[in-house]
Amino acid sequence: MLTFERYVRPSTPREAYDLLRENRLATVVGGMMWLRLADRTSPLGIDLSRCGLDRIEETDGAWRIGAMVTLAQLENHERFQASTCGVFTEAVRDIVGAQFRNLATVGGSLYARMGFSDVVTSLLALDVEVELEGAGVMPIIPFVERGARNDILTHVIVRKHRYQAAFASVRIAATDFSALNAAAACWQGSWHVTVGARPKKATLLTGGERIPLRRDFSPKELDAVCELAESLDYGSDLRGTAEWRARVAPVLVRRAVAAAQAKPRAAKEVAPC
C-alpha cells in the first residue's frame, strides 16, 4: 500500500511545482488508480485535485484538456470525439470499467507512460503537445520517450485537423489490459501510426520525424510499415511472448489503418451539439 508522510492539496499548478522542486522525492497525485497499488512510503503527496485542471476547453485551433479531466469525461465529450474521429473513445472504452474511468485521469495516464497504456497509444497518433508547469509546452513524442519527472503536467493540447483515425487492440478478456495495441491517424496529408503494449511504452512508427507514409500510400509502402512494426523491440509477459507480439503487430497496424480509412474525415470545426 502507498502511504505518505505528508499530504498537501495546493490550489495552483505553480504552488504544486514549487513543492515538487523543494522535495524531489515527492509523489504527484492525479486519479491515483494505479499509483495506490505501489508498496512504498513517499515523503510528500502533492494532490492536484484543487488546481483547477479538470476542464476541457475548446479554441479555434485546438482542444486544451486539463490533466485532472477523467477518462470518462473525455470519452463522453461529443464534440471532442467528433473532432478526433472517436479514436479516444475506441482506446479507452475497454479500460476496466465505467467506475474506473470516472476516476482515472488523462494526465495521470499520460504522465505515467505505462507500457500497457491505451491512452498513450491513441494520443501519440494525433497532433498533441503537453503543457508542463516548469518546462513549458513540448511535443508529445519526446515527453513519452523521456518523461518530465521534475515538472507538473497541467494540460494536454490536441491540435485540430481533419483527422481520419482509429484504434485497434488485442485483449485476453474484454476489460483486461491490452496485450498489444495500435493506432493510426491521418492528418496534414500523412499517416501517423503507433504501436503500444509491447509491453514497453508506445512508439511512433510513421509521421513526425519517423518514416513518412503519405495519405494515398501504395500497398508496397504499407507493407514496409508493417515490416517495421514486426521489427520493433518486443518483450514477453503474462499476456504474450515477444515472438507472438512481433507476428500480431503488422496485423493490428493494417486493421487500424483500414478502420481509419473507412471513416469520413473529421470536420476541423465541429458544429455545436
Q: 114 near 177, Cβ under 8 Å? A: no
Over residues 195-229, the pLDDT tens digits come to 999 999 999 999 877 888 999 999 999 999 999 99
Over residues 161-196, the pLDDT tens digits come to 999 999 999 999 888 889 999 999 999 999 999 999
| CATH code: domain of residue 234 | 3.30.390.50
The pLDDT value given to residue 30: 85
Does 102 have pLDDT greater than 70?
A: yes
User: pTM value?
Assistant: 0.92
Query: What is the extent of the structural domain holding 168?
Result: 164-261
Distances (CA, A) of 136 to 9, 15, 71, 73: 22, 15, 23, 25
Q: How many residues does the chain have?
A: 273
Backbone angles phi, psi at 254, to 5 degrees: -60, -40
Sign of CA dihedral 126, 132, 111, 75: negative
* Chain position carrying cell 504552488: 15
Q: Residue 224 falls within a domain, yes or no?
A: yes
Distances (CA, A) of 216 to 2, 135, 184, 194, 198: 50, 37, 14, 18, 28
Average pLDDT over residues 39-65: 95
User: Which of 36, 51, 66 represents a domain boundary (last residue)?
Assistant: 51
Q: Residue 156 falls within a domain, yes or no?
A: no
* Lowest mean pLDDT across 9-23, 100-114, 237-251: 100-114
Does 272 have pLDDT greater than 70?
A: no
Q: Residue 203 falls within a domain, yes or no?
A: yes
Residue 70 corresponds to which amino acid?
T
Q: Residue 70 falls within a domain, yes or no?
A: no
Total domain count for the chain? 2
Listed in sequence order, the DSSP H helices in 105-231 are 106-112, 118-124, 140-146, 219-230
User: Which of 26, 51, 76 represents a domain boundary (last residue)?
Assistant: 51
Does 271 have pLDDT greater than 80?
A: no
User: From edge to edge, which strands make up the β-sheet containing 203-204?
Assistant: 164-171, 178-187, 190-196, 203-204
Q: Residue 20 falls within a domain, yes or no?
A: yes
| CATH code: domain of residue 3 | 3.30.43
Q: Residue 101 falls within a domain, yes or no?
A: no
Q: Residue 37 falls within a domain, yes or no?
A: yes
Q: Residue 61 falls within a domain, yes or no?
A: no
